[in-house]
Structure 1
Amino acid sequence: MSEWEAGSIDGIAYTYGYCDELDPLRLRLPLLQSGIAPPVLRTACELGFGHGVSVNIHAAGSATRWFGTDFNPSHASFAQQLTQRAGSQASLSAESFAEFCARDDLPNFDFIGMHGIWSWISDENRALIADFIRRKLNDGGVVYMSYNTQPGWATMLPVRDLMNCHFQVSARLNEHGGVPAETQVQTHIAAALDFVKSVVATQPGYAVVNPQLAERVDALCKENAHYLAHEYFNRDWRPMTFSQVTSSLAASGLTYGCSADYRDHVDEINLNPAQRGLLAGIPDTTLRETVRDFCINRSMRRDYWIKGSRTLDEDAQQTALRAHRVMLALPRASVLLKIRGALGEATLPESSFGPILDALANHLPARLADIENSVRERGITLPFIVKAVTLLVGAGVLLNVQGEAHVELARPSSDRLNAAICEQALEHGDIQFLVSPVSGSGVLIPRVPQLFLLARRRHLSEPTQWAEFAEAALHTNPMPANTTEGVSVSPLNARDELIAKANRFAEIHLPILKALGIA
């Protein structure tokens, strides 16, 4: 029996999201900060790739050979079509984990990524994957894994069970022949949400002792139904503590490397002084991370796990950090020096962050050593630069940059994948990311800017022409009413809005997209 038959919510597709933590290049900076030598990335694997947006972006944007599986046939078919259009070497299948993990034609891997699935699969499948990692991950290789965790999910566990119970009863009692499966699922999800809201409205004792419950239930009602289906209504769903995950992965030969969430590497935005002092006095990694999760009430962990990690001495660590390259991915004037951590929103000082951003304002790749040379007279040291760059990458202001040889290798397949995604924008805006061969990662570019890029590909050179091209596409296939792109399709003002947007795109965003190798 496949995972799809054994607990996943059937009849409704998952979202077309992109997960940047699945980008192997992203692991380099946090591992170096932790004193761990990053692996050379030749082969990589994503388990449970959904629609394959991430795996296709990373395959097209790098020289790494990618493999992967997703047990939903429609997901896998969509992902395979993207691979064909990009002409990358990704090998993607629609096998169950049991089938995929048993294959004898797979290489060993330097990187294995899993986004979320660890929480949503059965104990049997977790054991299969743990054994697969033991057998197929190279020494020094890295596993990225995100998963729902305690204590942040503790309050919502009974709510999830209540919704799931109502969903199952509703599905059993209200089967409608001839109604599409996706419509039925969405109807049952909406009914379950309404039911839970009605329960909370009666002020049950559980809500009284958990006063934030009503607010969290209200927030659920605003979520995408496709996300809710897979997050809350799978048969198997188990938020696990860090210590439980550590035990599950021990037989795979893995040890905890560090957090894949860049913001976690700056304690000042996440922990108060007393908490930082408490954690500093806990030598055991498992206990320390478990206590840290209590301190910030974490509901999702994003972790790097290492097989046989090789530690770096201080000189090697400093040399590798100075060689690390980044680039500014936003207009310098648009950067807001705000970052959100567990303690809330923090303001980053212009006096120290501004010079670092100014050193990158030309949107060209720069080594941390280059930044260090530019800001040395300001008294800004390498340790501070590393911390600042980490926060700015975590905020999406900066992107990590791969080596020039890899950039050139990635350009053809990146261009083909971007062309395919932009062509799809004529009909819909499901995929809102394009790949940069410079960073090897996905860059958020919504449907309307994709249409502008497609117009340029079709040799329309003026912003007014791009606007007219986009207007025609949006008239034929309008955007959903809840779109966040802020473009009306009303005939009274659509053209003026689109022309203004196209002019701004040409002036501000296009130069950056050219620097990123996207335009």
Structure 2
Amino acid sequence: MTGLAHEYDNEIVYTHGYCDELNPLRARLPLLHAGFDYPVIRNACELGFGFGVSANIHAAGSDVHWYGVDADPRHSAFAQQLADDAQTPAHLFPGRFAEFCRRDDLPDFEFIGLHGVWSWIPDEDRATIAGFINRKLKPGGVLYISYNTQPGWAAMMPVRELMHGHFMASRSHHTGGNAPDERHATERIKAAVAFAQKVMAARPGYAHVNPSVIERVNRLCEENPRYLSHEYFAHNWYPASFLQVAQALEPAGVTYLASADYRDHVDSINLLDAQRDLLADIDDLTLSETTRDLCINRSFRRDYWIKQPRALEPNERLAALRAHRLILPVPEWAVSLKIRGALGETTLPEAVYRPVLQAMADARVTTLGAIEREVSKAGITLEQVIEAVKLLIAAGPVLNAQDEQQIQVAQSSARRLNTVICERAYDSDALQFLASPVSGSGVAVPHVAQLFLLAAMRGFKEPRQWAEFAQSALSGTQANDGAANMPAPLTPDHELVEKAVRFAEVFVPALKMLLIGEVD
């Protein structure tokens, strides 16, 4: 996120979200598949880290030294406190982009990432970031950038202006000219959304020619006000086209590589035949991506760019791809073969995907080469394996995996961070991800599951004991002796006991494979 000091005067803090695309390891497969060398990542940087959930998880879950900046003091204070409590190797600074990018104590980076913030900052900050990338991203280094884009946002732009105008007009009424607080800001956001819904109910001509707008406006009331605050009510809001972003990044000296959303790599789930034929005849990359966005009506882009890439020889490329490591931490039979692309939900072919999943089902880290050897007897090629793996990673059940040395190095730091997050779960449900030293990424572990894991960390052995512990935590009951964070025994409800049993049967095996927690 940017900050209060550059007209990004957002009165509400952002969500405690996690972004997997900010994990540098995720860029490795697209990079190798495109025929380029993947750099050894020693130093990485996140610009606009929000509450620092991704930065802390990636620093704790790998051997990478992470740096970052966020100008909202509420965000940076939380992020740094989390890093301090967990002794996470992350250097997270408060301040504006212009200040951070002028620092002379930063290393050069093999990876720079910014998630969403490009859409919420002024032009001068975008120019500052482009200059920073040009100076500090090493040759061969990767840039991850995501942003709101057209044409998917085009229809909502007048509605956003409508709501933003209502929001700003109500500011003085709520504050009397004083700085507004978060409660009042939330009320004004809800009022602005209600006003937009009222306008839509009046059947304006704009909604008649853009009928999808009505449904989108009606869904806004289901969204977290913290998300709405930053997505619709920030002072700067800029849904850029790919062409505009490419032009803005020209001074950075980077070249577009591929989408960070692995689903985009498979045309069959996103494009009609006529659209694929159309794109095949477009030689210019920028024009091709802009046309593709029109074909699928894209509203959000997640992109990898690369600086001065080193092309691999064909044999180098194949060797590197076959050495790429993966893990399937859930039972093969439990994996759904449905995925949603731009064309809607698609059922993936059993004849290819089941053999690939079965080749990964030995509860260990494997490689693309090992999968290829196993499934070749069914006539499945390496390219088919790569496509299948990409979609299985996009869908969630398969994860990229680090080298053994990286896994060993990251175990202690990941354990510290996960312990701190689970301890915080006793009082808060804000953080919903834990760090895996196997994947170097965040893994979704819901609040109640974190409480079960915390109970196991404290020596409770049985699912019913975990449920009792969680019941006490959720009810806010403390032990009779007043010991901090030691819940008094409570009889858990049947549903909570069932959740604890499911946690033991489903979550615990997966967490063990990912080296998360210490559950016997």
Alignment of 1:223-262 (within 5 A): 223-262=223-262
- Larger displacement relative to structure 2 (215-224 or 15-24): 215-224
Partner secondary structure for residue 5 of structure 1? helix
1:293 paired residue number: 293
What are the Cα deviations for residues 442-489 of structure 1, in whole angstroms up to 9, with x where unaligned? 000001110111011101111111111011001118xxxxxxxxxxxx
What are the Cα deviations for residues 115-140 of structure 1, in whole angstroms up to 9, with x where unaligned? 00001000011111111111111111
Give, in whole Å, the separation in 2 of the partners of 1:350 and 1:43. 41
2:107 paired residue number: 107
Give, in whole Å, the separation in 1 of the partners of 2:7 and 2:476. 38
Match of 1:497 among 471, 495, 498: 495
1:395 paired residue number: 395
- Larger displacement relative to structure 2 (502-511 or 173-182): 173-182
Question: Is 1:374–2:374 an aligned residue pair?
Answer: yes
Tell me the amino acid that sits aligned with residue 465 of structure 1: Q
Partner secondary structure for residue 251 of structure 1? helix
Question: Is 1:413–2:413 an aligned residue pair?
Answer: yes
Question: Is 1:55–2:63 an aligned residue pair?
Answer: no
Give, in whole Å, the separation in 2 of the partners of 1:435 and 1:21. 14
1:89 paired residue number: 89
1:141 paired residue number: 141
Aligned length: 506
Alignment of 1:25-40 (within 5 A): 25-40=25-40
Give, in whole Å, the separation in 2 of the partners of 1:178 and 1:362. 61
Alignment of 1:461-472 (within 5 A): 461-472=461-472
Q: Is the 8 A contact 1:256 1:304 kept in 2?
A: yes
Give, in whole Å, the separation in 2 of the partners of 1:221 and 1:508. 34
Give, in whole Å, the separation in 2 of the partners of 1:76 and 1:468. 35
Q: Is the 8 A contact 2:468 2:492 kept in 1?
A: no
- Larger displacement relative to structure 2 (329-338 or 70-79): 329-338
Q: Is the 8 A contact 1:9 1:229 kept in 2?
A: no
Tell me the amino acid that sits aligned with residue 418 of structure 2: N
What are the Cα deviations for residues 316-350 of structure 1, in whole angstroms up to 9, with x where unaligned? 11111100011113332321100000000000112
Tell me the amino acid that sits aligned with residue 257 of structure 1: L
2:510 paired residue number: 512
Partner secondary structure for residue 152 of structure 2? coil
Tell me the amino acid that sits aligned with residue 428 of structure 2: H
CA apart distance, 1:493:
9.3
Q: Is the 8 A contact 2:269 2:342 kept in 1?
A: yes
Q: Is the 8 A contact 1:421 1:431 kept in 2?
A: yes
2:330 paired residue number: 330
Alignment of 1:438-449 (within 5 A): 438-449=438-449
Q: Is the 8 A contact 2:29 2:324 kept in 1?
A: yes
Going from structure 1 to structure 2, the CA distance change for 1:196 and 1:306 (only over 3 Å counts) comes to same
Q: Is the 8 A contact 2:65 2:90 kept in 1?
A: yes
Give, in whole Å, the separation in 2 of the partners of 1:133 and 1:361. 41
Partner secondary structure for residue 249 of structure 2? helix
Partner secondary structure for residue 346 of structure 2? strand
Give, in whole Å, the separation in 2 of the partners of 1:330 and 1:85. 31
**Structure 2: 5+ residue runs without aligned partners?**
478-488
Give, in whole Å, the separation in 1 of the partners of 2:136 and 2:79. 23
Alignment of 1:77-476 (within 5 A): 77-175=77-175, 181-476=181-476
1:487 paired residue number: none
Q: Is the 8 A contact 1:331 1:509 kept in 2?
A: no
**Structure 1: 5+ residue runs without aligned partners?**
478-490
Partner secondary structure for residue 91 of structure 1? strand
Give, in whole Å, the separation in 2 of the partners of 1:202 and 1:499. 49
Partner secondary structure for residue 305 of structure 1? strand
Q: Is the 8 A contact 1:329 1:396 kept in 2?
A: no
What are the Cα deviations for residues 276-333 of structure 1, in whole angstroms up to 9, with x where unaligned? 1111111110010000000000011100111111122322111111000111133323
Partner secondary structure for residue 174 of structure 1? helix
Alignment of 1:7-22 (within 5 A): 7-22=7-22
Give, in whole Å, the separation in 1 of the partners of 2:491 and 2:357. 37
Going from structure 1 to structure 2, the CA distance change for 1:144 and 1:179 (only over 3 Å counts) comes to closer
CA apart distance, 1:87:
1.6
CA apart distance, 1:360:
1.5
Give, in whole Å, the separation in 2 of the partners of 1:266 and 1:363. 27
Partner secondary structure for residue 268 of structure 2? helix
Going from structure 1 to structure 2, the CA distance change for 1:22 and 1:377 (only over 3 Å counts) comes to same
Give, in whole Å, the separation in 2 of the partners of 1:276 and 1:178. 55
What are the Cα deviations for residues 398-451 of structure 1, in whole angstroms up to 9, with x where unaligned? 000000000000000000000000001101111100000000000000011101
Give, in whole Å, the separation in 2 of the partners of 1:81 and 1:332. 39
Give, in whole Å, the separation in 2 of the partners of 1:501 and 1:331. 18
Q: Is the 8 A contact 1:258 1:304 kept in 2?
A: yes
- Larger displacement relative to structure 2 (310-319 or 160-169): 310-319
TM-score (ref. length: structure 1): 0.95
2:486 paired residue number: none
Give, in whole Å, the separation in 2 of the partners of 1:196 and 1:222. 14
Q: Is the 8 A contact 2:3 2:70 kept in 1?
A: no
Tell me the amino acid that sits aligned with residue 39 of structure 1: P
Q: Is the 8 A contact 1:323 1:368 kept in 2?
A: yes
Give, in whole Å, the separation in 1 of the partners of 2:151 and 2:330. 35
Tell me the amino acid that sits aligned with residue 75 of structure 2: H
Partner secondary structure for residue 39 of structure 1? coil
CA apart distance, 1:10:
2.8
Partner secondary structure for residue 406 of structure 1? helix
Q: Is the 8 A contact 1:9 1:230 kept in 2?
A: no
Q: Is the 8 A contact 2:323 2:368 kept in 1?
A: yes
Give, in whole Å, the separation in 1 of the partners of 2:255 and 2:288. 14
CA apart distance, 1:178:
9.2
Partner secondary structure for residue 306 of structure 2? strand
Going from structure 1 to structure 2, the CA distance change for 1:493 and 1:163 (only over 3 Å counts) comes to farther
- Larger displacement relative to structure 2 (312-321 or 389-398): 312-321
TM-score (ref. length: structure 2): 0.95
Tell me the amino acid that sits aligned with residue 335 of structure 2: V
Give, in whole Å, the separation in 2 of the partners of 1:128 and 1:180. 30
Partner secondary structure for residue 497 of structure 1? helix
Q: Is the 8 A contact 2:468 2:491 kept in 1?
A: no
